[in-house]
Chains A and B, each alone.
Chain A
Amino acid sequence: MSRNPQLNEKGALQHLLTIEGLPREILIHILDTAASFINVAERDVKKVPLMRGKSVFNLFFEPSTRTRTTFEIAAKRLSADVINLNIATSSQTKGETLLDTIDNLSAMHADMFVVRHASSGAPYLIAQHVGSHAHVVNAGDGRHAHPTQGLLDSYTIRHYKRDFTRLAVAIVGDVLHSRVARSLIHALTTLGAPDVRVVGPKTLLPAGVEQLGVRVFHNMDAGIRDCDVIAMLRVQNERMRGALLPSEQEFFKSFGLTPERLALARPDAIVMHPGPINRGVEIDSAVADGSQAVILSQVTFGIAVRMAVLSILAGK
């Protein structure tokens, strides 16, 4: 069997491209390291010198605010130099190929690339191209994977629920277009969550999704009943082509998370959302702003998780 392309010959993390196939020990190591970065934000000097002198290039071929900003903050709190490249407005529009762009940036001595791309697999291509000279972190590629989001969701769940091995987690909404859902499913099954459910209309669940080790529900009430964690997904209007959804109002009627529906889950259930939230489409404002929502904690934890990923990669 060939080696996992994310791992080096010693079995340590060289690139972070997807959670799928990563050993449980590596996920736990990332979560534990993130925990030790949490209180850096509460100090006088919100920085540690781990990545002093290293250059991190944020390559965003697709727009993003939260992910790009939190990666930038994470790298800066590690004392790295951060260069943000908005490729949509740069040489690629002049016809340069992806790998030519990477070669040019490598010639500028980049140590790490954080890549967001609309095409699934683009970060793999870059990782193969740069080999062991630099590290690649996938910040979301097409419908494929968003590993740091899956990790920060796992961190959030562990923070509030402590133990994965007794949890029921419902992932609700547009699973078909969601790299967030795929990464979270792989993280949860690797970390030992026994009951992972996907909930959504047939048109928005990928065929064969149950092969990932999840239970499928087309009825929201049944899907979230007695759950410990409800992970809502964003309805991705910009990815929607054709008649997958009758209307936003209809989606909200069947799959929107309202206070009445939330009452079906366990009383101490937490509500997560990767943002940006569409109020009144997948989630009611009363829930998004309610006491069970941990959406803003996810953002805060996301910085520590990304610090953990960057520092573990940089140290190898």
Chain B
Amino acid sequence: MNLPDAEKLFEVLLESLRAHVTPDTGIVGIVTGGAWLAERLHRALGVQTPLGVLDPSFYRDDFSKSGLRHQVKPSQIPFDVQERSVLLVDDVLFTGRTVRGAMNELFDYGRPARIDLAVLVDRGGRELPVAAQYVGANIEIPPGKVLVLDRGPAGGLSLTLSDQRRRRLDIEGESEGKK
């Protein structure tokens, strides 16, 4: 399956946001891919509000089933969320569960005036009533496949498709290897 160039999708996303983002908008990226995109959008759009980062691991609905999936990064919202227009940024929109967790976490910092969602790729397969207002591209991805955004050493973005489940904690991987 041919995947589009992530850099081109980023340009599409950036252009669609230009008319709507103001210097006061609070941009918040979801780790890790969403945070990379948010960082670039924040710079390109000349937003004054400091950049925010969310890791919604502590808000996931599958915690009691799977535990903490990966190395959790500290969330940082270095601005007042109260009554602010917030742009949430993620790389791939799939079931909508991550976005639900991120919105719940955001509300624990205050009551935003509104939240919009920008994603590089909407791959369909929603399990919750979540929609993105700004989308780089809609790509049909078969269920069971994982679409991941990667960042190269020079900062270039690219998309890859794999069969594997997302990498579990390093500790578990190691102990499994020892057995």
Q: A residues engaging B (CB < 8 A)?
A: 10-12, 23, 25-26, 29, 32-33, 35-36, 38-39, 43-45, 47-50, 311-312, 314-316
- Whether the Cβ atoms of B176 and A45 lie closer than 8 Å is no
Instruction: Choose one: A23, A35, A44, A49; the contact of B74 (CB below 8 Å).
Output: A35
- Whether the Cβ atoms of B172 and A12 lie closer than 8 Å is yes
Residue with the greatest number of chain A CB neighbours at <10 A, chosen from B109, B170, B175: B175
Separation of A49 and B58 alpha carbons in the complex (Å): 7
Separation of A49 and B59 alpha carbons in the complex (Å): 6
Q: B residues engaging A (CB < 8 A)?
A: 55, 57-59, 63-64, 66-68, 71-77, 81, 104-105, 107-110, 169-172, 174-176, 178
**Which residues from A are CB-within-8-Å of B59?**
48-50
- Whether the Cβ atoms of A39 and B76 lie closer than 8 Å is yes
Chain A: CB-nearest residue to B76: A39
Q: A49-B58, A315-B67 are in contact. List 19 more A-B contacts (CB 8 A).
A: A10-B172, A23-B171, A25-B171, A29-B169, A36-B55, A39-B74, A39-B76, A43-B77, A44-B110, A45-B109, A48-B58, A48-B59, A48-B105, A50-B58, A50-B59, A312-B67, A314-B64, A315-B66, A315-B68
- Whether the Cβ atoms of A25 and B68 lie closer than 8 Å is no
Separation of A43 and B104 alpha carbons in the complex (Å): 13
Distance in Å: Cβ of B158 to nearest Cβ of chain A: 27
**Which residues from B are CB-within-8-Å of A32?**
71-72
**Which residues from A are CB-within-8-Å of B74?**
35-36, 38-39
Distance in Å: Cβ of B82 to nearest Cβ of chain A: 8
**Which residues from A are CB-within-8-Å of B104?**
49
Separation of A11 and B175 alpha carbons in the complex (Å): 6
**Which residues from B are CB-within-8-Å of A311?**
58, 68
Separation of A26 and B105 alpha carbons in the complex (Å): 26
Q: List 27 A-B contacts (CB under 8 A).
A: A10-B172, A10-B176, A11-B172, A11-B174, A11-B175, A11-B176, A12-B171, A12-B175, A25-B170, A25-B171, A29-B71, A38-B74, A39-B74, A43-B77, A44-B109, A44-B110, A45-B107, A48-B105, A48-B108, A49-B59, A50-B59, A311-B68, A312-B67, A314-B63, A314-B64, A315-B66, A316-B67
Distance in Å: Cβ of A41 to nearest Cβ of chain B: 12
- Whether the Cβ atoms of A10 and B75 lie closer than 8 Å is no
4 interchain residue pairs of minimum CB distance: A11-B175, A315-B67, A45-B108, A48-B58
Separation of A86 and B67 alpha carbons in the complex (Å): 31
Chain A: CB-nearest residue to B80: A44
Separation of A35 and B76 alpha carbons in the complex (Å): 12
**Which residues from A are CB-within-8-Å of B174?**
11, 25
**Which residues from A are CB-within-8-Å of B76?**
39
- Whether the Cβ atoms of A50 and B63 lie closer than 8 Å is yes
Distance in Å: Cβ of A4 to nearest Cβ of chain B: 11
Separation of A301 and B76 alpha carbons in the complex (Å): 18
Chain B: CB-nearest residue to A47: B108
Instruction: Choose one: B66, B107, B109, B171; the contact of A29 (CB below 8 Å).
Output: B171
Separation of A25 and B168 alpha carbons in the complex (Å): 14
Separation of A50 and B68 alpha carbons in the complex (Å): 10
- Whether the Cβ atoms of A36 and B109 lie closer than 8 Å is no
Distance in Å: Cβ of B61 to nearest Cβ of chain A: 9
Separation of A192 and B98 alpha carbons in the complex (Å): 37
**Which residues from A are CB-within-8-Å of B172?**
10-12
Distance in Å: Cβ of B98 to nearest Cβ of chain A: 15
Distance in Å: Cβ of A87 to nearest Cβ of chain B: 29
Separation of A314 and B73 alpha carbons in the complex (Å): 19
**Which residues from A are CB-within-8-Å of B66?**
315
Separation of A49 and B105 alpha carbons in the complex (Å): 9
Separation of A11 and B68 alpha carbons in the complex (Å): 15
Separation of A278 and B100 alpha carbons in the complex (Å): 49
**Which residues from A are CB-within-8-Å of B178?**
11
Chain A: CB-nearest residue to B68: A315
Separation of A47 and B58 alpha carbons in the complex (Å): 10
**Which residues from A are CB-within-8-Å of B81?**
44
Separation of A314 and B58 alpha carbons in the complex (Å): 12
Instruction: Choose one: A36, A45, A47, A315; the contact of B73 (CB below 8 Å).
Output: A36
Chain A: CB-nearest residue to B174: A25
Separation of A10 and B110 alpha carbons in the complex (Å): 39
Chain B: CB-nearest residue to A28: B171
- Whether the Cβ atoms of B55 and A43 lie closer than 8 Å is no
Chain B: CB-nearest residue to A50: B58
Distance in Å: Cβ of B173 to nearest Cβ of chain A: 10
Chain B: CB-nearest residue to A311: B68
